[in-house]
Amino acid sequence: MEEFCVACRSLGLTERIALFLRHREKESSLQSVSSSVFGQCFGDVNDWANAKRYVLNSSELDGLVIEVFRNFTRSQRYSLYARTKLGYLFYKRQMKKARERYPHGHSIPQPVMFNGVKILPIPVLSNNYSYLVIDTHSSAAAAIDPSDPLAVQAAIEQEGVTLEAILCTHKHWDHSGGNMALRRRYGSCRVYGSACDAIPELTNPLSDKETVTVGQLRFKALFTPGHTVGHMVYLLDGKPFEGPACLFSGDLLFLSGCGRIFEGTPETMLASLDTAADLAEDTLLWPGHEYALDCLTFASLLELENPVLEQKLQWANQQRLEKRSTCPSTIGEEKEYNPFLRTHCWELHRALGLQRLRGEDWDSFRARVLKEVRHRKDLYKAN
């Protein structure tokens, strides 16, 4: 270890990261690469103990990130983001930049009220949504994916509610990065999520179909791996409020899109998307990102003659011109235009030039369709 660290000091940034990665691969557990090891490897660049000061004051992280992007494969970059403190530093940097660029949030949120429940989207970072779900009778509230703790705290104070629970869809910093600060601020607040996903500050690990109760609010956790190994979505029961159910879908499902398949196979992701597609048509979809315009434009390049899609794209264009949020849509709507929920549609098969092979299992074929759509979307995004 000592040698490793000494060697690091005499090398450039790229080599240091490569060495760090190689060292990490030897560890039995990703968590076992301690912050002190990271600090030693990058000691003069970004000492973990001084991370906060460093992130706020140094321009070197930008250089480091540029190096990472230039020199590493996608899976290595992902590994750095999801599994090392470098990802956390990157997230802190993103948050600082977004707060400067969008002092009032990237979009104008449109809260929804039913009889006894209020859902407040909180635009955070450059395109994420956190949500505050409030039981208006008891003022108990749950926060979904509170990535910017200050923005979520401001909403809690403005609404005058008590934060009882954080429901975290997955471990990525842009969804879980605020857990620590909010737990520090609201000591009694519970943190829910999958035990498989290394969610910071997790206090109540959940398994598939478990229920979380906050005041009169009842959420059902649904296990939806693919984007990460432990991704979960949360379904708020609308019956007590005489309203529709609400799905907080994290990075599983977006308006006309789905999350990247970082930690699973197309088959895994398909099963998770089917879980969402099987919900009631009037279920409101509250996604983790404001990606509507990008996703609808991509979908319209795939399916050229889909009037519902055309109409939604026009509407989204108008909304975004006015900086208005595009959520929620409904599961019923999504099935009309979201290509990731249309793997069964021959129009999509034709557009992709894919045919079911003789003897090919139907779900295997749909997984192949999903893989192709995801691949094209990744390429589209890269251009």
- Return residues touching Zn ion (CB under 5 A): 172, 251
Which of 111, 121, 118 lies closest to 147 in space, CA to CA? 121
The answer to whether residue 170 is catalytic is yes
Q: Closer to Zn ion by CB, 251 or 303: give it.
A: 251
Amino acid of residue 203: T
Q: Is 175 a catalytic residue?
A: yes
Active-site residue flag, 227 = yes
Shortest Å, Cβ 75 to Zn ion: 15
What order of strands is seen across the sheet that includes strand 211-214?
A: 211-214, 217-223, 232-236, 246-250, 284-287, 329-330
Q: Is 106 a catalytic residue?
A: no
The catalytically annotated residue of 135, 145, 148, 172 is 172
Min CB(287)–Zn ion separation in Å: 11
Among residues 145, 148, 174, 197, which one is catalytic? 174
- CB-wise, 251 or 294, nearer to Zn ion? 251
Cβ-contact 299, 288 below 8 angstroms: no
Nearer to Zn ion, 172 or 342 (CB): 172
Rg (the chain; Cα; Å):
21
CB of 331 to Zn ion, least distance (A): 21
Cα–Cα dist 274/269, whole Å: 8
- By beta-carbon proximity to Zn ion, the closer residue of 172 and 368 is 172
Which residue's Cβ has the minimum distance to Zn ion?
172
Sheet holding 190-194, edge to edge: 112-114, 117-124, 128-135, 140-144, 162-167, 190-194, 204-206
**Minimum CB–partner distance for residue 82 and Zn ion (Å):** 8
Pick 172 or 366: Cβ nearer Zn ion = 172
Catalytic residue at 289? yes
Least distance (Å) between residue 114 CB and Zn ion:
28
To the query of whether residue 197 is one of the catalytic residues in this protein, the response is no
Can you spell out the DSSP letters for 352-375? HT--PPTT--HHHHHHHHHHHHHH
What's the CA dihedral at 198, 202, 207, 209 to 10 degrees? Answer: -120
Token code pair at residue 171 = 């471990």
145, 231, 289, 349: the active-site residue = 289
Buried b (16+ CB within 10 A) or exposed e, 76-96: ebbbbbbbbbbbbbbbbbbbe
Q: How many CA atoms lie within 13 A of 236 on its CB side?
A: 32
Catalytic one among 135, 145, 148, 175? 175
Phi, psi (deg, nearest 5) at residue 210: -75, 150
Question: Within its chain, how far is the Cα of 247 from the centroid?
Answer: 14
Q: In terms of DSSP bridges, do strands 162-167 and 140-144 run parallel, antiparallel, or are they unpaired? A: parallel
Question: 172 vs 371, which CB is nearer to Zn ion?
Answer: 172
Closest distance to Zn ion from the beta carbon of 262 (Å): 7
Catalytic residues: 170, 172, 174-175, 227, 251, 289
